[in-house]
């Protein structure tokens, strides 16, 4: 069975697959070549998930009402 390209996975699908890879690697019951391939796929999945999270973060805005009673949207400051 051919695996779906990482770029075509949703965040949830990528996380599920990444968690499965981690369990397999931690179990230590796979061949070295398969472990290396799984690790490489895991790196791709991790990067994909980070990118998806960053995209979502930039879309989140904080709604505020200014002293004049007007509604405005500003980027959410996740640092605070």
Strands (E), the chain: 61-65, 71-75
State residue 48 phi and psi, 5-degree precision. -60, -45
Tell me the pLDDT tens digit for each residue of 4-21: 999 999 999 999 999 999
Structurally, the chain folds into a number of domains equal to 1
Q: What is the CATH number of the domain that holds 12?
A: 1.10.287
Tell me the pLDDT tens digit for each residue of 22-51: 999 999 999 999 999 999 999 999 999 999
**CA nearest to 2, candidates 41, 59, 52:** 41
Which residues face 75 on adjacent strands?
61
pTM recorded for the entire structure:
0.72
Q: Give the residue numbers spanning the domain of 59.
A: 6-75
- CB of 38 within 8 A of CB of 21? yes
Which positions ≥6 away from 17 have C-beta within 8 Å? 9, 41, 45
In a domain, 80, yes or no: no
Q: What is the DSSP letter of 7?
A: G
């Amino acid at each position: 069975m051919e695996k779906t390209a990482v770029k075509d996975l949703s965040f949830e699908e990528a996380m599920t697959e990444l968690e499965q890879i981690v369990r397999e690697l931690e179990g230590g019951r796979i061949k070295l070549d398969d472990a290396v391939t799984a690790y490489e796929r895991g790196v791709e999945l991790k990067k994909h998930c980070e990118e998806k999270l960053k995209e979502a973060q930039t879309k989140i805005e904080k709604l505020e009402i200014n002293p004049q009673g007007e509604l405005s949207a500003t980027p959410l400051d996740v640092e605070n």
